[in-house]
Structure 1
Amino acid sequence: MTERRTIHLVDDDEAVRQSVAFLLSTYDVDVVSYPSGATFLAGRADATPGCLMLDIRMHELDGLEVQRRLNEEAFDWPVIFLTGHGEVRVAVEAMQNGAVDFIEKPFYGARLIEAVDNAFRQFDRTNRARRATQLLGTLSERERQVLDALVHGLSNKAIARSLGISARTVEAHRAHIMAKLHADSFADVLRIALTADIGPTALMEQERPA
């Protein structure tokens, strides 16, 4: 069975909320609707993680203000904006502030689904990066140094020389790293490290000739 996803739709136009819910109902997407930005902000702490669809022009809080407040909280759900005619400049501003897409009203089903697909691809990437970062956080400082060196292609002997430890100790650290990252192969270890985008460690030196 296809996993269902959740879109949180914030729009003060009931007809738009009903239309989006209907269009996405057969696409394995659940739509949770909110009549205002304030309503979403008040309840988002308990909301199912997903993607956010914001109307730009709303009473009280407009979509850009909702986005601004969420950015201040390091909110990382992908955001899609709904815009009316003549609001493309505003939509560009929204994109510059981190939105993944915008849809002009009136919109068609194919365009809506395209935007939702784009948003959930980012949602999945963010979740994978978060999980990878959490796993890397379980490593000790020495294990992280060994992993950094492995990612940059150093051999066990080179790592041992750089860190002042034995090659056997490096091998032990490699085994601990794989266990902590729940990795079945070293390729899995590299995938996790690159997903979290780890950088070089200042303590690591390049391999020197023997």
Structure 2
Amino acid sequence: MLHIIDDEEVIRDSLSWLARSRQIAAHSYESAEKFLVALDKPLMFDSQGDCILLDVRMPGLTGINLFEMLAARQLTKRLPVIFLTGHGDVPMAVDTLKRGAFDFFEKPFNDNKLMDRVQEALAVSRQAGSAALVHDRLASLSAREREVLDLILLGKMNKVIADQLGISMRTVEVHRAHIFDKMQVKTAVELAGLLK
């Protein structure tokens, strides 16, 4: 999902149309404050990735202020930010890029170059979202399940795992089933692929 945050309606409409022309779902917000309200709703993130096109200068909370808030919440990998500005400011652009912004475009911008960067940002977001999902699944494992997981990844058979951990083979089978369920895989090969 492309999140367009700009106080000018004509810019929001034009960017939404441009996104649709590339089959990119878009939602627009007239202020940073309205985006923050949406950000706190469940299911905010799209499995196809998210990207923010953010106007630098807006009344109230500025684009820079919003970016700083997202950076403080460690969301700029999951929500890559592409800044848009009508007031070219090279030092500002350099500073935001150093602090993790994905890109910086000055209005008027080349439509194709902007949408190419949006698609690249969406790919980065998808990858970050997948990594976060795997991390969350791993965090749901118990300490014993993590021990069993490590031995599964080393290619150990259930009997060897049971002997090594001093537990029954049936207990290993139960842990293995829980691990596969929590990690949402069906085989050890799938599990290894997920965690590579």
The answer for unaligned runs of 5 or more in structure 1 is: 1-5, 195-210
Any residues of structure 2 matched to 1:156-167 within 5 Å, and which?
156=157, 163-165=165-167
* 8 Å contact from structure 1 (residues 80, 99) kept in 2: yes
* 8 Å contact from structure 2 (residues 52, 79) kept in 1: yes
Paired letter, 1:61: L
Any residues of structure 2 matched to 1:45-194 within 5 Å, and which?
45-46=40-41, 48-49=44-45, 50-75=50-75, 76-84=78-86, 86-151=88-153, 153=154, 155-156=156-157, 163-165=165-167, 170=172, 173-194=175-196
Paired letter, 2:56: I
Higher relative contact order (CA 8 A, sep 6+): 2
Deviation, structure 1 residue 73: 3.3
Post-superposition Cα deviations, 1:99-152, rounded to whole Å, max 9, x if no partner, equal 22222322122112111111211221122123222322332211102223444x
* 8 Å contact from structure 1 (residues 101, 119) kept in 2: no
* 8 Å contact from structure 1 (residues 56, 64) kept in 2: yes
Cα distance in 1, alignment partners of residues 97 and 120 from structure 2: 13
- TM-score for the superposition, normalised by structure 2: 0.77
Residue 21 (structure 1) aligns with: 16
- Report the CA distance shift for 1:168/1:30 in structure 2 as closer, same or farther (over 3 A): closer
Paired letter, 1:21: S
Paired letter, 1:127: G
* 8 Å contact from structure 2 (residues 38, 44) kept in 1: no
Structure 2 counterpart of 1:40, from 1, 15, 35: 35
Q: Secondary structure at the match of 1:29?
A: coil
Q: Percent identity?
A: 37
**Aligned positions, number:** 188
Q: Which runs of 4+ in 1 moved over 6 A?
A: none
The answer for unaligned runs of 5 or more in structure 2 is: none
Residue 206 (structure 1) aligns with: none
Deviation, structure 1 residue 164: 4.2
Cα distance in 2, alignment partners of residues 154 and 186 from structure 1: 8
